[in-house]
Amino acid sequence: MNLEKVVFGFFVLLALTLNFGFVLGDLDNPEHHHSYELYAAIVVSLIATVLKFGDRSHMGATLLATSLVADLQLLMAALVWAIATNVQGGTDAGIMPSVVSLAGGALLANVASAVLLIIETVSLRR
């Protein structure tokens, strides 16, 4: 068993599950979406992105692209939430759908990354 592949797969799937956990819930209810969960999803997604650097294959480039998209979407969600909280004075039902939609886009990118990882794993020959 290759420990590097285990760690890589762990962070890819952890990024997916944390992102899913944040998106799950009523779209416009801020109490169903915790800020720490979004920040954990961002940190793990960034770690997964760093682990994808260095693979020079076409599949590696595609995995890196999906991870960069997820990072951008999650960072934009955090930025929108931070601006709404600190500039506008609070998170209301009008801003949460935007935050959750951005995180949902990242979720889709993470699903694509996990599917590509599974396809790459299945296609490996011993």
How far apart are alpha carbons 80 and 102 in whole angstroms? Answer: 9
Q: Is the pTM of the predicted complex or chain greater than 0.95?
A: no
Cβ(21)–Cβ(37) under 8 Å?
Answer: yes
Q: What is the pLDDT of residue 66?
A: 95
Q: What is the 3-state secondary structure (H, E, C) of the chain?
A: CCHHHHHHHHHHHHHHHHHHHHHCCCCCCHHHCCHHHHHHHHHHHHHHHHHHCCCCCHHHHHHHHHHHHHHHHHHHHHHHHHHHHHCCCCCCCCCHHHHHHHHHHHHHHHHHHHHHHHHHHHHCCC
| Nearest in space to 117 (alpha carbons), one of 15, 44, 42 | 15
Delimit the domains of the chain by residue range. 3-27+34-120
Q: What is the pLDDT of residue 27?
A: 75
Q: What is the pLDDT of residue 71?
A: 97
Q: What is the pLDDT of residue 87?
A: 83
Q: What is the pLDDT of residue 89?
A: 73
How far apart are alpha carbons 42 and 74 in whole angstroms? Answer: 6
- For the chain, list residues with pLDDT below 70: 90-93, 125-126
Q: What is the pLDDT of residue 91?
A: 66
